[in-house]
Amino acid sequence: MFDEIIYSPIEKLHFAEFENAQLEVFIKRDDLIHPFISGNKWRKLKFTLREAKSQHKNHLVTFGGAYSNHLLACACAGAKWGFKTTGWVRGDETNNYMLNLARWFGMNLRFCDRTAYKNRKDIFEKHHANDASAYFIDEGGAGYLAAKGCEEIAHEVSGFYNHVICSVGTGTTFVGLASGFHKLYPGTTVHGVLSHKSSTDIPALKSVFPEALNNTLLWSEYHFGAFAKTTPELMQFIQQFAAASGIIVDQVYEGKMMYALFDKVKQGFFNPGDRILLIHSGGTMGLLSMMV
């Protein structure tokens, strides 16, 4: 399980903005790892699902919003490696192509109101306590094992980058990435671009990854209003970026990260000669919601 050789090349981005600022900008294409177990979801599920298997749990119970990349990833991974899957969806019963895809991979979807959703452990206890095969995975796949999986990104990189940048939801990817880079490349600064205004799990995660405490920076000014909110400016940027690079970035996470990079370059945030590595954490399916 998760033994496949994954394809996540590092490509150079060619933009006049970068050349004029004397920057070299690269992108690690984790979005190419798998169409449905996309980007960081592959990395975050790797050790979690191995742990479930080792405990002989063959029923994954997990949580997410109605457009959750994580629910879809769990559904597909479950189908691929022989787990039954239940996905608890936050909010009123609804339907969309993401949930339908999850159903196609055999996920049993259940809905719960937003108040109940806050206590996900309680939902698990109430509905799955009698099922000895049930294994709890929190929303977004967040947790220690998930961060461990993201540490591996640093091992796939060769050469030195002054800055590594990723998008931040729960912050699991960011902390794992920071931990991995600071073990292998202590001089690298790892930047996280917040996709929302709320606080994150980062403080709790950092306590188990002390290596990740140093040389990290969170960019909090690029949430575009709130989680999953967009503006016409952001959507136009995403379209122009796709047309100029051949790379799709979604409007919830990676588009905000990419916008932030161009904005910081414009502000003169980086030093001439800096080498920058962006992590494309996938989520391309999410953009389809904007195309109907």
Residues that bind ligand PLP in the complex, under the rule CB under 6 A: 39-41, 69-70, 140, 142, 167-174, 250, 253-254, 281-283
Tally Cβ neighbours within 10 Å of residue 197. Answer: 12
Whether 74 and 60 have beta carbons less than 8 Å apart is answered as yes
Token pair recorded at residue 121: 């452990």
CB of 71 to ligand PLP, least distance (A): 10
Cα 31 to Cα 67, 127, 205: the distances in Å are: 17, 34, 24
Closest distance of CB 252 from ligand PLP, Å: 7
Query: By beta-carbon distance, which residue lies closest to ligand PLP?
Result: 283
Query: 74: helix, coil or strand?
Result: helix
- Distance separating alpha carbons of residues 284 and 278, to the nearest angstrom: 16
Shortest Cβ distance from residue 216 to ligand PLP (Å)?
A: 13
Helix axes 144-155, 40-54, angle to 10 degrees: 130
Name which of 274 and 284 has its Cβ closer to ligand PLP: 284
Helices (H), 68-131: 69-81, 97-104, 114-117, 120-128
Q: State the nearest-atom distance from the C-beta of 155 to ligand PLP, in Å.
A: 18
Give the C-alpha separation, 188 to 163, whole Å.
Answer: 6
- Pick 93 or 217: Cβ nearer ligand PLP: 217
Residue 38 Cβ, how far from ligand PLP at the closest point, in Å? Answer: 6
